[in-house]
């Protein structure tokens, strides 16, 4: 009979460990997911990344960000490739990730010392609902451990924003940072400042738009959007503020290309409206005018570009 334990029960059994966050974002339309995992130190993150890449499974890519990691995952199941190194060094891998209603089940396998991470550390994360252990579960030593970690199904929502300020006051990146701290819906993930064409005639000073992303339950998505609209309307000192919204883990290629070009050419508002409509981006004019739509749409398209989002094409020649 499998043993089901909640995070506080795992903590009581094994003692307090080190996982601070374990969030699963799902994009069922594209058949992919993303796992956000935080530790209290960099070393375990680096070791886990190397071992999880070695074993394969459903993980397609992993990136380290300080004491955090971002795992790109395919929804489904794949065999793990522990290989001969596992006998000496131990190993760890994600065998499957499935969506069951409003829950996500990730099945982890760990060998030797690596079994502690998936069997005792991650299951203590505050985002975990429960962990399912087999009857013969043991960790550490030469043991092989396999567990199923259950988390809430979350989706990624990106909010783009532009034209909240004037030449004399305000800053769009500050408004979005304030909102991300105060928002009661979802969990704040990332904040990006998007550098756009400095030759734009309607810019304030730097010609930057901004975007922020949240992990949110589907039932709270509209609450998040409405809160953001009200917050940005109140905080904006411009009459041309526009907010954009995109849901998912994959930015369409057409939108990315268009947004990258927005750093060097000048688009019209109509062109921004058209590209948004074709690529599933919702646009909201929050006040009288809509001059901010170009930057707000481009903020969505540039969101996953890393350092390129903050620069101009000549910075990367």
Output the six-digit token pair for 17. Answer: 């460990």
pTM reported for the whole predicted model: 0.93
- Give the H or E element holding residue 65: strand 59-65
Q: Is there a single domain that holds both residue 146 and residue 272? A: no
Whether 25 and 131 have beta carbons less than 8 Å apart is answered as: no
Q: What is the pLDDT of residue 114?
A: 75
Indicate whether 95 and 177 sit together in one domain: no
pLDDT(90) > 90: no
160 shares a domain with 147: no
Residue ending a domain, among 122, 152, 182, is 152
Block residue for tokens 């010392």: 113
Is the domain of 301 the same as that of 159?
yes
Whole-number Å distance between alpha carbons of 140 and 143: 6
* Same domain (yes/no): 216, 98: no
Helix or strand (DSSP H, E) at 34: strand 32-38
Whether 143 and 231 have beta carbons less than 8 Å apart is answered as no
Last residue of a domain, one of 107, 125, 152: 152
Same domain assignment for residues 129 and 144: yes
Shared domain for 163 and 292, answered yes or no, is: yes
Q: Burial of 274 by CB count in 10 Å (0-12 exposed, 13-18 middle, 19+ buried)?
A: middle
Contact by Cβ (8 Å): 244, 188: no
Whether 144 and 180 map to the same domain: the answer is no
Q: Are residues 8 and 55 in the same domain?
A: yes
Domain identity same for 72 and 95: yes
Each residue's pLDDT tens digit, 194-238: 999 888 766 566 689 999 999 999 999 999 999 999 999 999 999
Which of 152, 184, 218 delimits the end of a domain? 152
Question: Domain check: are 86 and 220 in the same one?
Answer: no
Domain that holds residue 287: 155-316
């Amino acid at each position: 009979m499998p043993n089901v334990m909640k995070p506080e029960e795992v903590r009581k059994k094994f003692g307090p460990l080190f996982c601070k966050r374990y969030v699963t974002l799902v994009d069922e339309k594209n058949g992919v997911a993303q796992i956000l995992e935080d530790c209290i130190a960099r070393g375990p993150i680096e070791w886990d990344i190397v071992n999880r890449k070695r074993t394969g499974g459903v993980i397609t890519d992993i990136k380290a960000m300080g004491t955090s990691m971002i795992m790109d995952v395919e929804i489904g199941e794949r065999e793990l490739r522990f290989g001969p190194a596992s006998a000496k060094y131990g190993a760890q891998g994600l065998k499957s990730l499935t969506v069951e209603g409003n829950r996500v089940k990730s099945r982890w396998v760990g060998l030797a010392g690596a079994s502690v991470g998936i069997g005792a550390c991650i299951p203590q994360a505050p985002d975990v609902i429960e962990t399912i252990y087999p009857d013969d579960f043991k960790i550490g030593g030469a043991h092989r451990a396999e567990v199923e970690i259950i988390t809430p199904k979350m989706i990624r929502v990106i909010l783009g924003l532009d034209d909240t300020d004037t030449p004399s006051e305000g800053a769009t990146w500050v408004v979005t940072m304030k909102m991300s701290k105060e928002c009661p819906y979802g969990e704040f993930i990332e904040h990006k400042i998007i550098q756009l064409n400095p030759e734009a005639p309607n810019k304030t000073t730097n010609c930057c738009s901004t975007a922020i992303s949240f992990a949110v339950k589907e039932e709270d998505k509209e609450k998040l959007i409405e809160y953001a609209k009200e917050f940005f309307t109140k905080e904006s000192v411009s009459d041309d503020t526009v907010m954009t919204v995109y849901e998912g883990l994959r930015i369409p290629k057409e939108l990315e290309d268009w947004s990258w070009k927005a750093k060097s050419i000048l688009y019209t508002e109509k062109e921004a409206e058209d590209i948004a409509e074709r690529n599933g981006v919702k646009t909201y004019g929050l006040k009288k005018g809509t001059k901010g739509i170009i930057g707000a749409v481009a903020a969505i398209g540039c969101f996953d570009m890393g350092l390129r989002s903050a620069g101009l094409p000549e910075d990367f020649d």
